[in-house]
Amino acid sequence: MTEDLSTLTARTMDAFGVTAPLDVAGGMTVVSPVTGEAVASLATHSAADTEAAIALANIAFRAWRLVPGPRRGELVRLFAEELRKSKEDLGRMVSIEAGKSPSEGLGEVQEMIDICDFAVGLSRQLYGLTIATERPGHRMMETWHPLGVVGIVTAFNFPCAPWCWNAALALVCGDPVIWKPSEKTPLTALACQAVFDRAVARFGADAPDGLSQVLVGGPDVGAALVESDKVALISATGSTRMGRIVGPKVAARFGKCILELGGNNAGIVCPSADLDMALRAIAFGAMGTAGQRCTTMRRLFVHDSIYDQLVPALKNAYASVSVGNPLESQALVGPLIDAAAFASMQDALTEAAGLGGTVHGGERVSVGPDTAFYAKPALVEMPKQCGPVKRETFAPILYVMKYSDFDEVLELHNDVGGGLSSSIFTTDLREMEVFLSARGSGCGIANVNIGTSGAEIGGAFGGEKETGGGRESGSDAWRAYMRRATNTINYSKNLPLAQGVVFDIG
Ligand code: NAD
């Protein structure tokens, strides 16, 4: 590396024109997992700042909701143009703050661009239905209106794309956004905001102040957003632990809530599977991003007739995988986010071994200074699904189990919380269709012959199964950012009621 990470960070943030000081004495420390060194120290927002941001966003809402949808789409189109220009710098910030490889960092920014492009088209398609009414001389239709301020809380492992999945839709739907990024990745958020401000400057005066704001801070800042009845929709991405706190708080004030939470994702490899294809998909899905994707494959059920073919090949892939500094090497596996993540990985492996599991890999790998935490991905052969296998450990651990009966394996597959994404490897049409049917995978994402990770923005993303199916990004996810009104218009001139029509008043 030619320059140290702090200098690289300051130089990259400078390219965004971020004016907030990055060296605030006693501020919130931002640590890069690549080397474990502090790269910035930021001032955090207070409760009063949060209140002021919410007030400003509500003023912005009153103006923005009146701007026609396609014009709102124009702002998002300009934002996508600015993102294209800043792709490399933003991708680098993702690598510095989250420890992702350059291609993953760039891939995350590409997802932002993709959802913006999607949202631009959507801005002309916020359709309501015209509905057949039982009343003569009447017309009934539904209209979709902007909802209000959208509060977005995001996780460290995707420092920018999930914000954009929400923000691009919210903005075309007529809603201002307030973003509370992870306390581990606030710099990427400030950079995104700077890129957005460039789009606003090109757009014109009909974009009100406070259309998009960032609040820097920890869970307390997120909680203030969550508890405010002036925030119409909370979209929170993170652990199920966080979701269990946020969900009831929003429900208690009758707010709307989108929860994108953890994933204990599984794959099933059936006797007819193309094993080369399965091997590649499993290795990438389980080890990529050092197991720190919500869609990482964490459990694998292999039919006993092919277990001795597939699992030794997988063990070889695990033994030979490269672990290294993502900014300096082509390594597939980069760092864990911090010491706590490494400790929870070790705890899970110890527990699995105590339950009869055979652990391959999982040890710490020395890459750079001692302050960085890199680990060899772990493959654990388990006698059955129990203990840590049933929960998400946010680290590269793949639990492998044998199965013999298809119906039984479907039950095991679904017998965990956190079922976000799933896949089956088979060339048997019946197995495939059953897996995708009502009695198949209970997850918001169910794939055939591809791994669990790597969702496209065109479909509704995720929706951890405990909280109910896919929601954010594509498909008709936009409806969550709007409110529906059903309108009935009586154009009759004292027409007699149709026979048999009864009005129930009350
Ligand atoms: P986390 O739950 O610790 O934190 C996520 C965000 O929630 C942070 O911004 C944090 O400050 C905030 N937060 C925490 N407690 C809060 C509270 N009480 N009130 C309001 N805000 C609060 O998660 P993490 O460690 O940053 O991220 C990893 C987790 O996120 C994993 O479980 C992963 O599966 C999940 N994740 C899910 C998706 C998805 O789309 N389903 C995407 C990425 C990550």
Widest pairwise Cα distance in the chain: 85
Instruction: Give the burial class of 448: count Cβ atoms within 10 A of its Cβ; 0-12 exposed, 13-18 middle, 19 or more buried.
Output: middle
User: Can you read off the two tokens belonging to residue 187?
Assistant: 């710099």
Strand partners, 485: 143
User: Can you read off the two tokens belonging to residue 105?
Assistant: 């960092």
Residue 422, sorted as left (phi over 0), alpha (psi -120 to 50) or beta, turns out to be beta
Q: Is 258 in the pocket of ligand 1 (CB under 6 A)?
A: no
Give the residue, by CA position, lying nearest to ligand 1 atom 42: 294
The ranges assigned to domains in the chain are: 47-261+463-486, 265-448
End-to-end distance of the chain based on CA atoms, in angstroms?
Answer: 73
User: What is the model's pLDDT at position 369?
Assistant: 94
Q: Does domain 47-261+463-486 have CATH number 1.10.10.60?
A: no
Q: Is 155 in the pocket of ligand 1 (CB under 6 A)?
A: yes
Give the residue, by CA position, lying nearest to ligand 1 atom 9: 182
- The set of residues, in sequence order, having a beta carbon less than 8 Å from that of 459 and lying 6+ positions away, is 445, 470, 473, 474, 475
**Cα torsion at 6, 7, 13, 14 (round to 10°)?**
150
User: What is the model's pLDDT at position 419?
Assistant: 76
User: What is the model's pLDDT at position 506?
Assistant: 43
Most informative mutation of 154, 237, 293 for ligand 1 (most atoms within 8 A of CB) = 237
Instruction: Give the burial class of 75: count Cβ atoms within 10 A of its Cβ; 0-12 exposed, 13-18 middle, 19 or more buried.
Output: buried
CA gap 101, 460 in Å, rounded: 26
CA gap 265, 442 in Å, rounded: 11
HSE-CB of 331 using CA atoms within 13 angstroms: 26
**Amino acid in the structure at residue 10:** A
Q: What are phi and psi of 130, to 5 degrees?
A: -105, 130
Instruction: Give the burial class of 164: count Cβ atoms within 10 A of its Cβ; 0-12 exposed, 13-18 middle, 19 or more buried.
Output: buried
Q: Position of tokens 């632990």?
A: 241
Q: Dump pLDDT digits (tens) for 69-111.
A: 999 999 999 999 999 999 999 999 999 999 999 999 999 999 9
| CATH superfamily of this structure's domain 265-448 | Aldehyde Dehydrogenase; Chain A, domain 2 (3.40.309.10)
**CB contact burial 291-322 (16+ within 10 A = b; e otherwise):** bbbbbbbbbbbbbeebbeebbebbeebbeebe
HSE-CB of 49 using CA atoms within 13 angstroms: 15
3-state SS, residue 411: helix
Most informative mutation of 239, 244, 296 for ligand 1 (most atoms within 8 A of CB) = 239
Could you give the residue numbers annotated as active site?
A: 260, 294
Contact 188, 97 (CB under 8 A): yes
pTM for this predicted structure: 0.94
Q: Is 183 in the pocket of ligand 1 (CB under 6 A)?
A: yes
CA gap 125, 477 in Å, rounded: 13
Q: Could you tell me how many residues make up the chain?
A: 506
Beta strands at 233-237 and 256-260: parallel, antiparallel or unpaired: parallel
Cα of 134 from ligand 1 centre, angstroms: 47
Give the residue, by CA position, lying nearest to ligand 1 atom 19: 223
Give the residue, by CA position, lying nearest to ligand 1 atom 22: 219
Strand partners, 361: 378
Most informative mutation of 97, 153, 292, 452 for ligand 1 (most atoms within 8 A of CB) = 153
CA gap 254, 472 in Å, rounded: 20
- Closest Cα partner for 415 from 447, 374, 443? 443
User: Can you read off the two tokens belonging to residue 308?
Assistant: 């001795």
- Closest Cα partner for 133 from 504, 498, 488? 488
State which H helix or E strand residue 289 sits in: none
CA gap 279, 134 in Å, rounded: 57
3-state secondary structure 112-131: HHHHHHHHHHHCCCCCCCEE
State which H helix or E strand residue 307 sits in: helix 307-320
Q: Position of tokens 């890999």?
A: 361
Beta strands at 397-403 and 297-303: parallel, antiparallel or unpaired: parallel
Cα of 26 from ligand 1 centre, angstroms: 24
Q: CA torsion sign, 185 to 191 to 290 to 304?
A: positive
Q: Is 394 in the pocket of ligand 1 (CB under 6 A)?
A: yes
DSSP class of 184? T
Q: Position of tokens 């030979």?
A: 320
**Regions of the chain with pLDDT less than 50:** 1, 506
- Closest Cα partner for 159 from 202, 205, 105? 105
